Structure 1
Amino acid sequence: MLTDEIRADMAQAVLCWLATVDADGQPSVSPKEIFAPHGADRVMIAEIASAGSLRNIRQNPKVCVSLIDIFRQRGWKLTGQAEVIAPGEPHFADLGAEVLRMAGSAYPVRHLLSVKVQRAVPILAPSYRHFPDRSEAERVAEAHRLYGTRPASGG
């Protein structure tokens, strides 16, 4: 399910957004900055300060994780079932190894959010339809122009 392409795009994304639904059916979207693929079909997300996401997942485990490389203007919508894993559970360290490494001592990981991905759909900016022949380099250059940014030196 998590192809090499999805993994590469995930490595380029700075944030992902976790969409959940509360008990009243109201959607909630929360940014997450520490996340990584795990195994063939899981995304592990560090829960650092997300009481609402925890509450919602415990009531309804259906979630959506979206991630985008803002300069390439593409990414993925990953839908599936989430599970909350507490630090005391036996598989916490194994499942969370990568996100715990990423968090280091700077961020206390209170729980892991383990998302078993059931469906992956590409997210593409409208420019992919309007300008299908544009190269990735042209897309990145145009994004920098539109956002008023510059590529990092050396890259």
Structure 2
Amino acid sequence: MSPVQALLTDAVCEAARRSVLCWLATVDAEGQPNVSPKEVWAIADEQHVVVAHIASPVSARNIAQHPQVCLSFVDVFVQKGFKLLGRAREVLADDTEFATWAKPLLAMVGQRFTIQSVLVIQVQSVAAIVAPSYRFYPDDTTEASQVSSAMRGYNVQAVEKDKP
């Protein structure tokens, strides 16, 4: 048997680290989509992403009915990210697996939030997300130009780092 190919590569992990939020898309029993921002999430290993169910009853209910999900994240300054498709399941707080899956999430929240359960996503495919400028104007578009444009658009100024 051949080993499972790592879908969550170093590039995906680095992009995830730079993203503040992810967006989890689910669908209910009637086929109605639901997209919900998630602030507490992490790449658990080369095949799994974990999302804290802090206040996500709709996402949890939808996953119980239809486990297919889409999780997307983008670095808003560089304007690149990834779309992950996979199958999700909910691991409840009293489940023996909870401590393992919740570990990276608990490290993020400390005592700030109670994690009701963990939404564990087994990633089945990964696709890049890039702003249209990278495709339509490849000679003029760089990560630096996108960051500069985004900083102007968001009215954000860079913080000068102290010199040693």
TM range (shorter): over 0.9
1:146 pairs with 128, 132, 153, which one?
A: 153
Structure-to-structure mapping, 1:1-155, within 5 angstroms? 1-133=7-139, 134-154=141-161
Cα deviations by residue, 1:30-86 (Å, 9 ceiling, x for unpaired) = 000011111111000011001100110000000000001000001000000001000
Tell me the amino acid that sits aligned with residue 35 of structure 1: W
Report the Cα distance in structure 1 between the residues aligned to 2:95 and 2:157, rounded to whole angstroms: 44
Aligned residues between the structures: 155
Percent identical residues = 43
**Unmatched tracts of structure 1, length 5 or more:** none
Cα deviations by residue, 1:80-126 (Å, 9 ceiling, x for unpaired) = 00010001111111111101110110011000000000000000111
**Unmatched tracts of structure 2, length 5 or more:** 1-6
Query: Scaled by the length of structure 2, what TM-score is found?
Result: 0.91
CA shift for structure 1 position 136: 1.3
Runs of 4+ in structure 1 over 4 Å off: none
Indicate the structure (1 or 2) with the bigger Cα radius of gyration: 2
SS at match of 2:43: strand
Report the Cα distance in structure 1 between the residues aligned to 2:93 and 2:160, rounded to whole angstroms: 40
